[in-house]
Copies of this chain bind each other. A is one copy, B any other.
Amino acid sequence: MKLYDYFRSSAAYRVRIALNLKGVTAERAFVHLRQGVQHGEQYRDCNPHGLVPALALDDGQVITQSMAIIEYLDETHPQPPLLPADAKARARVRGIALAIVADIHPIDNLRVLRYLKSALHVDDAARDAWYAHWIALGCAALEKQLSRESQTGRFCHGERPTLADCCLVPQLANARRAAVDLAPYPTLSRIDAACCALPAFADAAPARQPDAE
């Protein structure tokens, strides 16, 4: 299988972590988002949504959406599991992941930031404030949730990494790159540090990818 990837895509970063945790190797193709390769006919033919990541299977099926890819990897390579066995616990992990995947990240995506500038003529300062606003709002809610729930452990859920951690670490990396103050989120920061101490997370970092600039 082949992963369509871009070093700075935090959605692709989630999948890189999951692949590393599973010990699964995928062929890599790099889609240069800043150069607009995702809009080209060739990539649109592979993934009509024009986003990364996408995972092309050997039979030609292309799985889109980071979370769908990670769930697929978890179903086809069950060890180590990235979701707990219990339905309630699985729901908690998916809820945390989706708070990032569906609430924070999409609003701060590259294409949204570009639309703010090109169509709405928003200046750089207001665009940066926009970016920081949605991260802060989402992180504050996650911090409140994780700090008060007993299921939170060394990681977002218990004592081993799950889908939720695969999503948290790239989002905090984005936050740091945008100079967002993470001091108000001690639980998130503690979990992030625990994750980044593991090679599966560290090796998936943007700076360590072959297409890093």
Q: Could you tell me if B101 and A49 are in contact, using CB atoms closer than 8 angstroms? A: no
Q: Determine which of B71, B95, B103 lies in contact with A106 in the assembled complex, contact meaning CB atoms within 8 Å.
A: B103
A144 to B50, CA, bound (A): 11
Whole-angstrom distance between the Cβ of A21 and the nearest chain B Cβ: 18
Q: Determine which of B49, B75, B116 lies in contact with A87 in the assembled complex, contact meaning CB atoms within 8 Å.
A: B75
Q: Could you tell me if A99 and B57 are in contact, using CB atoms closer than 8 angstroms? A: no
Q: Which parts of A54-108 form the interface with B (CB within 8 Å)?
A: 57, 59, 61, 63-65, 67-69, 71-72, 75-76, 87-88, 90-92, 94-95, 98-99, 101-103, 105-107
Q: How large is the interface on A (under 10, 10 to 19, 20 to 34, 35 or more residues)?
A: 35 or more
Q: Could you tell me if A63 and B95 are in contact, using CB atoms closer than 8 angstroms? A: yes
Number of copies of this chain that the complex holds: 2
Q: Determine which of B44, B76, B88, B103 lies in contact with A51 in the assembled complex, contact meaning CB atoms within 8 Å.
A: B103
Chain B residues with CB below 8 A from A99, complex form: 49, 64-65
Interface segment among A22-30, A125-133, A170-178, A195-203: the answer is: A125-133
Whole-angstrom distance between the Cβ of A57 and the nearest chain B Cβ: 7
Whether A115 touches B98, Cβ cut-off 8 Å, given contacts A87-B72, A92-B63, A144-B48, is no
Whether A67 touches B98, Cβ cut-off 8 Å, given contacts A103-B106, A120-B126, is yes
Q: Could you tell me if B103 and A107 are in contact, using CB atoms closer than 8 angstroms? A: no
Chain B residues with CB below 8 A from A49, complex form: 99, 103, 138, 141-142, 145
A64 to B44, CA, bound (A): 33
Q: Could you tell me if A72 and B48 are in contact, using CB atoms closer than 8 angstroms? A: no
Asked if A110 lies at the interface with its beta carbon under 8 angstroms from chain B, I say no
Chain B residues with CB below 8 A from A115, complex form: 130, 133
Chain B residues with CB below 8 A from A122, complex form: 120
Chain B residues with CB below 8 A from A142, complex form: 48-49
Asked if A119 lies at the interface with its beta carbon under 8 angstroms from chain B, I say yes
Q: Could you tell me if B112 and A119 are in contact, using CB atoms closer than 8 angstroms? A: no
Chain B residues with CB below 8 A from A116, complex form: 120
Q: Could you tell me if A68 and B95 are in contact, using CB atoms closer than 8 angstroms? A: yes
Whether A91 touches B68, Cβ cut-off 8 Å, given contacts A49-B141, A115-B133, A145-B49, is yes
